[in-house]
Amino acid sequence: MVAGPRLAYSTNVLAVVGHTHQRQALSNLVRYERLPSSLLFAGIEGIGKHAIARELARQLLCQSLPAAPQGGCGECKPCKLFESGNHPDIHTLTFGTDGASVDDIRQILERLSLRAFMGTRKVAIFDNADSISMVGANCILTTLEEPRPENFFILIASNPSKLPSTILSRCQRWFFDRLSEDEIRSVLHARGASEEEMALAALADGSIGALSTIRARTEHADEIIAVLDAAWRGDLARITRAAQEWGAEKTTLAERLNFLRMQIRHRLVINASDPGAAAVWAHALQNTIDAEYVIIDRHVNPTLILLRILQGCSHEYATAYQMTPNRYPSILEALAL
């Protein structure tokens, strides 16, 4: 799995944190035998898409169908084999750096062309599907165009726009939101996380997967918090120095942008009841999202973009952003990109 909540078991039934509406809807489609053969699970990394795919696969392969509960009964032989990782009719490939090859895809597709070893269904989960090569995508496409009724495909992607349109058009898309801070805390609590780790939940930006990066680079998080505090005060010297330093360090620029976006989003959430402060952080969040494209994809001077973001985080703009928002265009609007 691309980083997501650990699976927890209660009375031998699979439990996944969050996404209640989507999971229940998927379960109902299985029970009424209306589940499409090809699904695309989309959403940021680390929110449990892979865990949900496995929960759905286990229900599909459960011996109790059509009465199988969400996640399967947990008691039949197929469910127990699934839990142990030995079920012969579930196939998983993970793409990306050093991931599955075209030959791996062909092997899986060949197995899917055979009869199921147990029951009547087979499930293939393609993780990081947005990293698949064009050759690999074409291999999968041939199968998706003429699916066998007993086969189900679940593609998982953080950036589905990278997938060929031919693949997207043959999959029913399911979008999964960021986890709430309480949901992240519940996962951390189940893992026995320390108080220090629990405190990072507010910076996770809705993703369990982001926590490992945050733990590894807490010095960046502390620095960004201090700089945003300075920006709110209107400390031009401090934010200018920060923009110059961050813009010059190319190897950590993307990481700093990610932390900056997460911390600004957090400030927007906690200031939701203050219209002035919320307007400042909402404007800054849009600018930070735009900056990732402007700096990384369009190669615009990062120091100038960072300085523009930080200058806009001053409390002095609290009223101005509310009264005349059109006077303060986003970075993309200002640069006409």
Measured CA to CA, the distance from residue 274 to residue 288 in angstroms comes to: 21
H helix runs in 146-274, sequence order: 165-168, 181-190, 195-199, 210-216, 218-233, 236-248, 250-270
Measured CA to CA, the distance from residue 168 to residue 290 in angstroms comes to: 25
**Quick one: DSSP state of residue 149?**
T
Residues 6+ apart with CB under 8 A from 98: none
Provide the CATH number for the domain formed by 217-335 in this structure. Answer: 1.20.120
Amino acid at 226: A
- Neighbouring CB atoms inside 10 A of 195's CB total 6
Measured CA to CA, the distance from residue 195 to residue 322 in angstroms comes to: 38
Structure confidence at residue 217 (pLDDT): 59
Which of left, alpha, beta for 175 (phi over 0: left; psi -120 to 50: alpha)?
beta
Measured CA to CA, the distance from residue 69 to residue 81 in angstroms comes to: 17
In the chain, where the domains are located: 8-175, 217-335
Topology agreement, domain 8-175 and domain 217-335? no
Amino acid at 118: M
Structure confidence at residue 28 (pLDDT): 95
Measured CA to CA, the distance from residue 49 to residue 55 in angstroms comes to: 10
Name the CATH code of domain 8-175 (choices 3.60.15.10, 3.40.50.920, 2.60.450.10, 3.40.50.300).
3.40.50.300
Q: What is the 3-state secondary structure (H, E, C) of 241-276?
A: HHHHHHHHCHHHHHHHHHHHHHHHHHHHHHCCCCHH
Q: Which residues of the chain have pLDDT under 50?
A: 1-14, 337
Measured CA to CA, the distance from residue 168 to residue 145 in angstroms comes to: 11
Measured CA to CA, the distance from residue 257 to residue 177 in angstroms comes to: 21
Structure confidence at residue 196 (pLDDT): 65
